Chain A
């Protein structure tokens, strides 16, 4: 078996996300590459939550429309997904909650009573049943539970899982691939680790889906990773606190979504004028306003590229998978400090909250990007006008003169000025810095090309749509061209990547084609838009159908 799709669904509050990650981990232990999509409405109890876990031999990042195995914790789970259930779909269900289903019942209620186990262990009974049905050895399950279940709950979960295991028949056998086990992470976790690897001292954030889990993850591992994690009163406070930390020498990041970023734009402009480094992880979700808060979207690109009053350089990167997320989070933080600019890591709910196999060694060597420090001899001038536009940094109290940062137009020492030549001169210094950044980024891979080299048709996409596009492109024999760096836009690299392409199809999770618009602004034409804006990412099957309509 080359790939397998499993769906587990139940009510919010039943731990579906955790159960999904456990299933992902089981496949991972068999040597498969996994992807998990987690679907949940914005409520805490009830409703319908489900996770789709897809395992394959090669790296993946998108789901299929039908499931090989369905694990139902309630009837809703069967009724809502009838179209995804094929004749050969293996259904394992909780016979106490599911009244009408064909498949393999597990009397979860009785198991829990007999094992004197709490309700939250229900998933373990189902996962036990799943392992048996899928021919996964009991030892694999115990190995995974040892890493995912807290020690004091391990015994009861294993007992319940064993009962589930014994209650189901073996229907298929998922063959172990005999490859090393890799960690399974979410995009948020990869971003957090990348930031830490890049030098993060402090994360400041106000909770907002889909990046709250980045806040939670670093808070949980604050001691292990030696990072301060702070949750202030609102996103305005977040951004300003981050700038204060940076002024005093702490490498600081913030994370948010579009709505929180709206509040941060005031501080973003302050970062631009005062040349204070800050790194922002922005997870997109559907808007405007509250929109569909727990679902996915790619509709904040132009907001991010243009946010803030005035003109100042920024670095915007859009990773497409976990390895890119890890690498670019580290690089974004480094560039923010080297150039004293805001760096934005733009992601979306699909990548931020999705689970993926993560191969740290495939993420590439993290380059050293040391900030430029003052020499400690000359009288310090915070905004010294240098040839490359970068003014050396110094932090109080270690400085040969007061460190004067300023939100106003200022002179080289940091004193407010409104003199025409000084105002213009400082703007030009900042633009020289933008040029230096652009030059340095030419040495990075700002555009990725995949699929069939030399194909005349190119799919262009961004961020989390990478995986679905690459899979679909293989079927149509086309290539996939994707920008990683969005500001400053890698025009030369894009032009080279598109040589020989006569037809361009943009695949995006928004209603107006935001990447296509950016490409047109840079002088590159897009022929067709394949858009999806219902808050869900493209599945491979759906994208193939939509592309068939266009490509024929």
Chain B
């Protein structure tokens, strides 16, 4: 994208040779390039080797990012990126695991996994490409589409209210909750870096422009503002800020980090098991003795 150079560090071969098939003007480009820059900058400033990053995608336009970024990846299935990412992190806690998921993908098909990952404070990063419409299946409503949205499956307009994912994530136990916007590149990149460095479950909701089916650029440009001067360790304040906008009204939309707390991380209790002191045969026979 045109403002890539101003917002981020160019990152050599982090972009793969795979052909990009996103629509012109798609917000996914911003996410791709800010993530690429975030990874490159973390590699440089924090000394995290690039091979320690693993990205996991769901299914939808967002998932193609797993092809486009030249890092370890698992292109998973609809709604299921999060448990897969949790498994990767459990197998090797040295890896930084980043999930790219869509709003239909993770708020509809995969909602249980999202809530439970937050509940257990899995040490993974979840980036939701929330364009508030199903793109790859050509324009149906999603759980965050505004009330009255007319999609191909709901031509008369939906009569359901959207869920507020930030509110949901806070009450589910997420320890890092943030919102970005694909037209605000520098803060988006910073949010990605903060989320990746956060120890515990980090959730980033990205308001993403769908240029083809639901272009909310004007609406977002009018409504968004940067969160400033809040105490990100204060749950009630974070919840109040998350409730400012209900995904339908014309209220102001806060961007930035709402909540950032350090809590025990899922999987820590398994660390001691890595040291196997006897052979498997011996371990099995020792347990058998208890049943004799």
| Chain A contact residues, CB within 8 Å of chain B | 28, 147, 181-185, 189, 193, 196-197, 199, 201-202, 204, 221-228, 230, 232-234, 236-238, 240-250, 252, 266-267, 270, 274, 358, 360, 395-399, 402-408, 414-416
| CB pair A237 B112 closer than 8 Å | yes
Find chain B residues with CB under 8 A from A246 CB. Answer: 87, 91
| CB pair A270 B76 closer than 8 Å | yes
| CB pair A225 B67 closer than 8 Å | no
Q: Which of these binds chain A: B4-12, B26-34, B47-55, B139-147? A: B47-55
Using A245-B88, A249-B92 as known contacts, say yes or no to A405 and B75 having CB atoms under 8 A apart.
Answer: yes
> Out of A183, A230, A403, which one reaches B288, CB within 8 Å?
A183
> Out of A233, A270, A397, which one reaches B77, CB within 8 Å?
A270
| CB pair A416 B51 closer than 8 Å | no
| CB pair B113 A407 closer than 8 Å | no
| CB pair A233 B51 closer than 8 Å | no
| CB pair B288 A358 closer than 8 Å | yes
| CB pair B113 A237 closer than 8 Å | yes
| CB pair B284 A396 closer than 8 Å | no
Asked if B286 CB lies within 8 Å of chain A CBs, one says yes
| CB pair B87 A241 closer than 8 Å | yes
Find chain A residues with CB under 8 A from B59 CB. Answer: 407
Find chain B residues with CB under 8 A from A252 CB. Answer: 87
Find chain B residues with CB under 8 A from A222 CB. Answer: 273
CB distance from A271 to the nearest CB of B (A): 11
Find chain A residues with CB under 8 A from B273 CB. Answer: 222-223, 226-228
| CB pair B116 A233 closer than 8 Å | yes
Output the residue of A222, A227, A399, A407 with the most chain B CB within 10 A: A407
| CB pair A245 B283 closer than 8 Å | no
CB distance from B270 to the nearest CB of A (A): 5
| CB pair A233 B91 closer than 8 Å | no
A199 and B289 alpha carbons, distance in the complex (Å) = 20
| CB pair B283 A226 closer than 8 Å | yes
Asked if B132 CB lies within 8 Å of chain A CBs, one says no
Find chain A residues with CB under 8 A from B94 CB. Answer: 397
| CB pair A232 B292 closer than 8 Å | no
| CB pair B88 A397 closer than 8 Å | no
Chain B residue nearest to A181 in the complex (CB): B292
7 more CB-based (< 8 A) A-B contacts, given A241-B86, A244-B83, A405-B74: A202-B90, A245-B88, A248-B95, A274-B74, A406-B75, A414-B75, A415-B16
| CB pair B52 A397 closer than 8 Å | yes
| CB pair A247 B67 closer than 8 Å | no
> Out of B64, B75, B113, B288, which one reaches A360, CB within 8 Å?
B288
Find chain A residues with CB under 8 A from B49 CB. Answer: 397
| CB pair B18 A232 closer than 8 Å | no
Asked if B80 CB lies within 8 Å of chain A CBs, one says yes
| CB pair A193 B287 closer than 8 Å | yes
Chain A residue nearest to B94 in the complex (CB): A397
Q: Which of B113-133 contact A (CB under 8 A)?
A: 113, 115-116
Using A226-B273, A240-B80 as known contacts, say yes or no to A396 and B95 having CB atoms under 8 A apart.
Answer: yes
Q: Which of B51-87 contact A (CB under 8 A)?
A: 51-52, 54, 56, 59, 64, 66-67, 70-77, 80, 83-87
29 interchain pairs, CB-CB under 8 A: A28-B292, A147-B290, A183-B289, A193-B287, A223-B273, A226-B275, A226-B283, A228-B273, A232-B116, A237-B112, A237-B116, A240-B76, A240-B80, A240-B84, A241-B86, A244-B83, A245-B87, A247-B88, A360-B285, A396-B52, A397-B49, A397-B51, A398-B51, A399-B51, A399-B72, A403-B73, A404-B66, A405-B75, A407-B77
Using A244-B84, A266-B80, A270-B77 as known contacts, say yes or no to A221 and B90 having CB atoms under 8 A apart.
Answer: no
| CB pair A241 B84 closer than 8 Å | yes
Using A249-B92, A402-B72 as known contacts, say yes or no to A193 and B288 having CB atoms under 8 A apart.
Answer: yes
Mask for B225-264, Cβ within 8 A of A = 1, else 0?
Answer: 0000000000000000000000000000000000000000
A225 and B289 alpha carbons, distance in the complex (Å) = 13
A224 and B290 alpha carbons, distance in the complex (Å) = 12
| CB pair B75 A247 closer than 8 Å | no
Asked if B280 CB lies within 8 Å of chain A CBs, one says yes
Find chain A residues with CB under 8 A from B95 CB. Answer: 248, 396-397
Find chain B residues with CB under 8 A from A28 CB. Answer: 292
| CB pair A197 B72 closer than 8 Å | no
> Out of A197, A225, A234, A247, which one reaches B112, CB within 8 Å?
A234
Chain B residue nearest to A182 in the complex (CB): B292
Chain A residue nearest to B80 in the complex (CB): A240
Output the residue of A244, A396, A402, A403 with the most chain B CB within 10 A: A244
Using A227-B273, A244-B84, A250-B91 as known contacts, say yes or no to A407 and B75 having CB atoms under 8 A apart.
Answer: yes
Find chain A residues with CB under 8 A from B113 CB. Answer: 233, 236-237, 240
Using A405-B74, A407-B75 as known contacts, say yes or no to A197 and B67 having CB atoms under 8 A apart.
Answer: no
Asked if B46 CB lies within 8 Å of chain A CBs, one says no
Find chain B residues with CB under 8 A from A242 CB. Answer: 87
| CB pair B280 A199 closer than 8 Å | yes
Find chain B residues with CB under 8 A from A270 CB. Answer: 76-77, 80
| CB pair B77 A405 closer than 8 Å | no
| CB pair B281 A197 closer than 8 Å | yes
A5 and B73 alpha carbons, distance in the complex (Å) = 58
Find chain B residues with CB under 8 A from A405 CB. Answer: 73-75
Find chain B residues with CB under 8 A from A396 CB. Answer: 51-52, 54, 72, 92, 95
Using A196-B283, A224-B286, A415-B67 as known contacts, say yes or no to A248 and B75 having CB atoms under 8 A apart.
Answer: no
| CB pair A245 B90 closer than 8 Å | yes
| CB pair A202 B276 closer than 8 Å | no
| CB pair B287 A416 closer than 8 Å | no
A415 and B275 alpha carbons, distance in the complex (Å) = 36
Find chain A residues with CB under 8 A from B292 CB. Answer: 28, 147, 181-184
A415 and B64 alpha carbons, distance in the complex (Å) = 10
Chain B residue nearest to A28 in the complex (CB): B292
Chain B residue nearest to A201 in the complex (CB): B91
Chain A residue nearest to B288 in the complex (CB): A183
Find chain A residues with CB under 8 A from B72 CB. Answer: 396-397, 399, 402-404
Find chain A residues with CB under 8 A from B71 CB. Answer: 402
CB distance from B114 to the nearest CB of A (A): 10
Find chain B residues with CB under 8 A from A197 CB. Answer: 280-281, 284
Using A226-B283, A397-B49, A404-B72 as known contacts, say yes or no to A416 and B288 having CB atoms under 8 A apart.
Answer: no
Find chain B residues with CB under 8 A from A202 CB. Answer: 90-91
Chain B residue nearest to A222 in the complex (CB): B273
Find chain B residues with CB under 8 A from A236 CB. Answer: 80, 83, 112-113
CB distance from B196 to the nearest CB of A (A): 15
A408 and B74 alpha carbons, distance in the complex (Å) = 10
CB distance from B173 to the nearest CB of A (A): 13
Find chain B residues with CB under 8 A from A196 CB. Answer: 280, 283-284
| CB pair B67 A228 closer than 8 Å | no
Find chain A residues with CB under 8 A from B83 CB. Answer: 232-233, 236-238, 240-241, 244
Chain B residue nearest to A326 in the complex (CB): B284
A244 and B64 alpha carbons, distance in the complex (Å) = 19
CB distance from A205 to the nearest CB of B (A): 13
Chain B residue nearest to A226 in the complex (CB): B276
A44 and B40 alpha carbons, distance in the complex (Å) = 56
A232 and B64 alpha carbons, distance in the complex (Å) = 27
Find chain B residues with CB under 8 A from A224 CB. Answer: 283, 286-287
Chain A residue nearest to B81 in the complex (CB): A240
Find chain B residues with CB under 8 A from A221 CB. Answer: 287
Using A222-B273, A402-B72, A407-B76 as known contacts, say yes or no to A247 and B283 having CB atoms under 8 A apart.
Answer: no
Find chain A residues with CB under 8 A from B80 CB. Answer: 236, 240, 266-267, 270
Using A396-B72, A399-B51, A406-B75 as known contacts, say yes or no to A230 and B90 having CB atoms under 8 A apart.
Answer: yes
Find chain A residues with CB under 8 A from B54 CB. Answer: 248, 396
> Out of B70, B77, B84, B284, which one reaches A247, CB within 8 Å?
B84
